[in-house]
Amino acid sequence: MLLANCYYDAGDNLKAENGYSEAVELLKNKSKDISQSVLNTPKFEPNRDAFVAYSRLAEFAHNRQDYNKAETFYLKSLSALIQPSRLSQIYTLWKTENVESYNGNLDESEIVRERHPEIVKELLLYGKDLAGVLNNLALLYLERNDVEESKAILERCFAVMTFSGLQDLNIEWAENIDGFELAPKAWS
């Protein structure tokens, strides 16, 4: 993994991609060994190494316009950080909060964060990474002309951004989606 990161930083994408592919295989074997040795289902823990490896592999595939492979790797990188059911819960909560009106001096996203400190704490370590992958996945769907899926993923990105307090993610490309409001109420 370290060697793959070095190749990536040096701009040697071919060696980096091979290194990340090997890292993913090692991580798969390690997780199989762990799951076979534990009788109870282990508690979900974010796996940073798997996230980095899969997101870099997704980036390489996306740059080659191998959209199917890129989509698979983006989804695996998301699963390395958060369970899909948990992301759905966060999104549903954000949608509920998004339709409420707020009064007071704090901006709306701060109020949402104050009302749900457990989610803020959960996303503290990986919210920006999660939002970045969701952003890339939404862009991939747009490039593939799947506008509705792009909108759906981008809304999940906004949900993560709201709870993470992020406002510096490069999402200007979303202005090109016909009928999509770039700054939803609870995020702007």
What does the pLDDT look like over 104-133, one tens digit per residue?
434 667 777 888 888 888 888 888 899 999
80 Cβ neighbours under 8 A, 6+ residues apart: 46, 47, 48, 50, 51, 54
Would you say 62 and 140 are in contact if contact means Cβ atoms under 8 Å apart?
yes
Profile the chain (188 residues) by mean pLDDT over runs of 10 residues: 78 82 78 46 71 93 94 94 90 75 53 84 88 91 89 88 73 58 42
Amino acid at 82: I
Q: What residue ranges do the domains of the chain occupy? A: 1-66, 82-188
Q: To the nearest whole number, what is the mean pLDDT of the chain?
A: 78
Q: What is the CA radius of gyration of the chain?
A: 18
Q: What pLDDT score does 174 carry?
A: 58
Pairwise CA distance, residues 147 & 138, whole Å? 9
Q: Where are the alpha helices (DSSP H) in the chain?
A: 2-10, 13-37, 48-63, 67-81, 84-98, 108-115, 117-123, 127-143, 147-164
DSSP label of 135: H
Query: Can you give the pTM of this predicted structure?
Result: 0.75
Helix H, strand E, coil C: the string for 24-55 is HHHHHHHHHHHHHHCCCCCCCCCCHHHHHHHH
11: left (phi over 0), alpha (psi -120 to 50) or beta: left
Give the residue among 158, 165, 119 at the shortest CA–CA distance from 138: 158
pLDDT digits (tens, 9 = 90+) for 31-46: 554 444 444 445 557 7
pLDDT score for 168: 58
